[in-house]
Amino acid sequence: MKNFIVFLVFAGLFVVLPVWVYNRLIRARNEYQNAFAQIQVQLKRRHDLIPNLVTTAEAYLKHESHTLEAVISARNNAAALLRAAAAQPGNLAGMLSLAEGEQQLTAALRNLNVAVEAYPELRAEQTVKDLHEELAGTENRVSFARQAYNDAVMEYNNARETFPASLFAAFFGHPQNAALLQFDDHSEIQQSPRISLNTSGNSH
């Protein structure tokens, strides 16, 4: 009788343990995928605001067409990389490409900022002020969403690598860790290029 009870315990563990591991990994994967969806929402908002900023600025920056074109090109590239990354959240190549694309966009916006600073009339434009505030708020939300995503990825990776999940992860369709979304310069990507709202100075 005792041996039979021991057998039932081990048989139960053999059935229950894989199911528990499977469900834990699925929940953890869903968490980081849902977290990435929030990054996608905020980055898409960022990408949607930029054409409005360029349209407003181009009336003043007639001699800065290359700067404006660089912003739009970087924006379009970043948007395409975001769509690709959203198809496979956590994929290493996708996360690296997305990070690079967003950093290139930030660099292009900083060049635009330099051009805008030379035009007090443009700095005083209410639409520019409003767009700047919206971009700044969006960048803050991107930062928070990215942190939530990275935290969820760490939870998933820890769940996948620790015993007993490590025994079953590959078999259950979790062959590798999810990738973090990181930037070379966190301070640059976490806030939008700041346009000075001080309208004093010599006009062109």
Q: Which of 176, 107, 103 is nearest to 146 (CA)?
A: 103
Q: Is residue 201 part of a domain?
A: no
- Three-state secondary-structure class, residue 177: coil
Q: Is residue 16 part of a domain?
A: yes
pLDDT tens for the chain, 204 residues: list them.
666 565 555 555 566 888 888 999 999 999 999 999 999 999 999 999 999 999 989 888 888 899 999 999 999 999 999 999 999 999 999 999 999 999 999 999 999 988 888 888 887 888 888 988 999 899 899 999 999 999 999 999 999 999 888 888 998 899 999 999 997 654 444 444 444 444 344 444
Q: Is residue 46 part of a domain?
A: yes
What is the model's pLDDT at position 81?
A: 98
109 burial class (0-12, 13-18, 19+ CB within 10 angstroms)?
buried
Question: How far, in whole angstroms, is CA 143 from its chain's centroid?
Answer: 8
Q: How many domains does the chain have?
A: 1
What is the model's pLDDT at position 129?
A: 86
Q: Is residue 90 part of a domain?
A: yes
**For 161, phi and psi rounded to 5 degrees?**
-90, -20
Q: Which of 135, 123, 121, 130 is nearest to 190 (CA)?
A: 135
Q: Which of 83, 112, 115 is nearest to 98 (CA)?
A: 83
Q: What is the pTM of this model?
A: 0.83
Q: Is residue 94 part of a domain?
A: yes
Q: CATH number of the domain at 84, please.
A: 1.20.1440.20
> Quick one: angle between helices 65-87 and 92-117, nearest 10?
160
> Which residues, in sequence order, are CB contacts of 6 under 8 Å at separation 6+?
none
Does residue 32 contact residue 89 with C-beta atoms inside 8 Å?
yes
Q: Is residue 203 part of a domain?
A: no
Q: How far is CA 111 from CA 143, 164, 195, 199, in A?
A: 22, 51, 11, 19
Q: Is residue 200 part of a domain?
A: no
Residue type, 170: A
Q: Is residue 195 part of a domain?
A: no
- CB atoms near residue 15 (< 10 Å): 10
Domain enclosing residue 62, as ranges: 2-189
